[in-house]
A and B are shown apart, each in its own frame.
Chain A
Amino acid sequence: MIKAKPIEIFCGTGGVGKTTTASSRAIYLAKKGKKVLLITIDPSQRLKEVFGLNDQMAGNPEKVTHENIGSSTPFEFEAMLMSPSATIARMIKTSSKGELLKNPIIKTLSRPYGGMNEIMAMIEVNQRIKTQKYDTIVLDTPPGKHFIDFLEAAQKINHFFDKSFLDLFKYLGKSFEGSRTQTLSKKLIGSIVTKGVKKLLGYLDKVTGQAFVEEFIDAVSALYQNREYFLEGLELEERLKIQSFSNWFLVTSVDQQKITQAGELKDQAIHFMHYDNYLIINKTLQQQIEQWNPNSELTKSLKESMSYRERKIKEFSKENFSRILEFEEILSDSPTEHVLKLSESWENTSI
C-alpha cells in the first residue's frame, strides 16, 4: 500500500488514463476515510463524465459520494474542474480586484480555453492546500508538454514580473501604487521609461491601435499590483519537491502507441520529482495474453502484436523506473464502473 501524501500528482501523455487512475486513487483514499479533493487541470476534463459533473460546476469543489456512482461501499470526497476566472475572482482580495476582472484582456485570457489554465491551476492548488481542509489533494494534470507548462508556471510568472517589467516599474517606483489621477497608461506613455520598452510599445501601437496598448498596460499593471497572489505558485513548486509532501505518478498505458514520450516527460519533470515517484502501467493484459494459445495464422499474429506492446512498455519501464505499478485492463465500458474497479487495485499495490 502506498502511503497517502498531502498532494498526489498524476501525469502522463494524453489518453493513457490519467483521469481514470487519479479518480480511482481519490476513491480509494476516500474509502479509507481520508478527506480528499480531486482537481482536474486537463482541459479535456473527462472527470465530468466519470462523476456526472458539468461545466457550470467548474471552479467549485463538488461533493461526490458512493451513491453518485453506484458503489455499495460508502465514501465521500470532493471533485473540482479548474476554472481560471473563478480562481482569479477568488484569490484577489485587494481593491484592484474589480479593475483586474473587468480588463478585457484578462477577461478573455482567463476563459476555460483562453490559455492561462496552467498558471491559474498552480495558484488554485496552493490555495486549496492552505485551507488545510484536506488530507490529500489528488491532481489530474494536462497531457504531456502542458504538464511541464504547469510545473514551470510559477517560474514563468516570476520571470514575467521580474525581468520583463523591471524596466517599466523601475521608473514608476512608489508613485505607481499611489496616485491615480491620470490613467497609468497615459502616464507611462507620456514620460516613458527606457528606450527599449518605449520602442517595443511603439511597435505594438503600430499593429494593434492605441486602445489595445492602453488596455494592455492596464492589464499588466493590475497583474503587477496583485503579483503576490500570482507568486504564491512558487510556494507550491517548493512544496512539490518535498518527499514527505508529494507522491508522483507517471501514467503510461499498454495501448499507447508512443511510450518514448513518457521517458521524455520524466526527463523534463525530473528536477521537480523526488524519490517517491511511481510509474503506472495501465491497461495491461499480459497474464491473459500469455495464457492464450492461438492456433491460426491470424490469431498468432494478433497475439504477437499484443504481446509486443506489453513487452516494449515493460522494457522501457524497467530501464527508467524502480517503482512500477501494474494495473490490469478493466474490461468494462462504463467509465464509472471502470474507476470503481480500478480503485480496488490500489489495495494490492506493494512496492
Chain B
Amino acid sequence: MNPNKRLYVVTGKGGVGKTLISLALAKYLKDQGHKVLHNSYDQEAHDRVCSDLEIPTWNSTLEESATIYIARKLGSETVARWVMKTPFFIGLFNMIPGLGYMIYLGHIIDRLRNDPSLTIVVDSPSSGHLLTTFEVPSNFREIFGSGILVQDINKMEQCLSSTSFLKTLIVCLPHQLSLSEGKELSDKLEDRNIKGSELLINDSLSLIPELQKEDLPPFLVEKIKNEKQLLQNLPSIDEMIKIPHFSSLDEKKLILSLQSYIKGLV
C-alpha cells in the first residue's frame, strides 16, 4: 500500500517546527511500512536524529544535483564537471539562485519517477523561498522557449500540479502574522496551479487540554485567550491539524509525540 501522496513538502516561516514535523512524518510513513526518504533540501542535515530514529535520509547539494543533471543531458560526466567549474556557470548559479533550486527539485522528482514505490518528505526552506522554487520552472520554460530543457520542465510541472503527487504542508504558529503568511502562501501556490496545500497549527498553548483547569498566571491567561480567539476566527479551523505545545525538551521524544497528530495527513 502506498501513502496517498508521493512527495510531501513541509514549509512555513523559520522556527515554526518544520524540521521536526517533517521528521515525524517520515518516521510515521516508515513505521507504516512505506518506502520513504527524508530530504533537507540543501540545508543542514539531521543525521544523528535520523539514524537514532531509523529514518532513512537522502540528501544532495545544489551543485551535485546540477552536475548529475547536466551530465545526463550532455551524456558525459567529465564535461558536466567542467561546465560546472567554468566561471560562467558559477556566475550564473550565483546570480540566479532559483536555477539551482529548480534543478534540485527536478532531481527529487526524478527519483520519484524512477521508483514508483518511493515517497519523499522534504524539509523545505521557508515560505517566500519555496514560492520562488515553485515559480522558477514556469519562468524558465518561458525563457528557454523550446528544447529538451522545456520538456523536462513540463514533466516537472505536471507532477507539481497533480494533487495525487504533491502535498504541501504549511506549518504556522498560532499568531496572526504567521497564519496570514501561511494563507497567503497557500493562495499564491494555488495561483501557480499547485493546489491542495494544507495549513497546520503547531506549538499551541491553548490546545493543551488539561491546561484549562489549571490556575495560571495572568500572562499565560492572556496568551491563551489571544490564541483561542485567533483560532476560533479561522474559517477552516475544524479541518486543520492542530498540534499543542509539548513540554518535552528531548527532540526524539518530540518527534515521536508529533506522530499521532500527523496521521491524518497520510
Contact = CB atoms under 8 A, between A and B. Distances in A.
Interface of A: 13-16, 19-20, 42-46, 49, 104-105, 108-109, 111, 113-116, 119, 142-146, 149, 156-157, 159-160, 163-165, 196-197, 200, 203, 206-209, 211-212, 215, 253, 255-258, 261, 285, 288, 291-292, 294-296, 298-299, 301-302, 304-305, 308, 331-335
Contact of A333 (B91, B184, B215, B230): B230
Contact of B13 (A43, A44, A156): A44
Contacts of A209: 144-147
Given A113-B135, A288-B219, A332-B226, 5 more contacts: A44-B184, A143-B126, A200-B89, A207-B74, A208-B147
29 contacts: A15-B15, A15-B178, A45-B128, A49-B177, A49-B180, A108-B139, A108-B140, A108-B142, A109-B139, A111-B135, A113-B132, A160-B94, A164-B86, A164-B88, A207-B147, A208-B144, A208-B148, A209-B144, A253-B15, A257-B15, A258-B19, A288-B218, A292-B220, A294-B214, A298-B210, A304-B247, A305-B245, A305-B248, A334-B176
B33 interface: no
A145 B42 CA distance: 11
B87 interface: yes
A115 B149 contact: no
A331 B223 contact: yes
Interface in B65-85: 73-74, 79, 83
Interface in B193-244: 203, 208, 210-211, 214-220, 222-223, 226, 229-230
Given A288-B217, A302-B211, A305-B248, A115 B96 contact: yes
Contacts of A332: 226
Contacts of B13: 14-15, 44, 143
Contact of B145 (A149, A196, A212, A333): A212
Q: Majority SS of interface residues in chain B?
A: helix
Given A16-B14, A115-B96, A164-B91, A331 B222 contact: yes
Contacts of A302: 208, 211, 245, 247
Kindly name the residue among A146, A291, A304 whose own CB sees the greatest number of chain B CB atoms within 10 A: A146
A203 B92 CA distance: 15
Given A115-B136, A159-B91, A200-B83, A144 B14 contact: yes
Interface in B101-129: 125-129
A292 to B, nearest CB: 4
Contact of A258 (B15, B128, B149, B178): B15
B95 A160 contact: yes
A207 B88 CA distance: 17
A212 B142 CA distance: 10
Interface string B156-172: 00000000000000000
Contacts of B211: 298-299, 302
B99 interface: yes
A285 B219 contact: yes
A109 B126 CA distance: 20
A160 B91 contact: yes
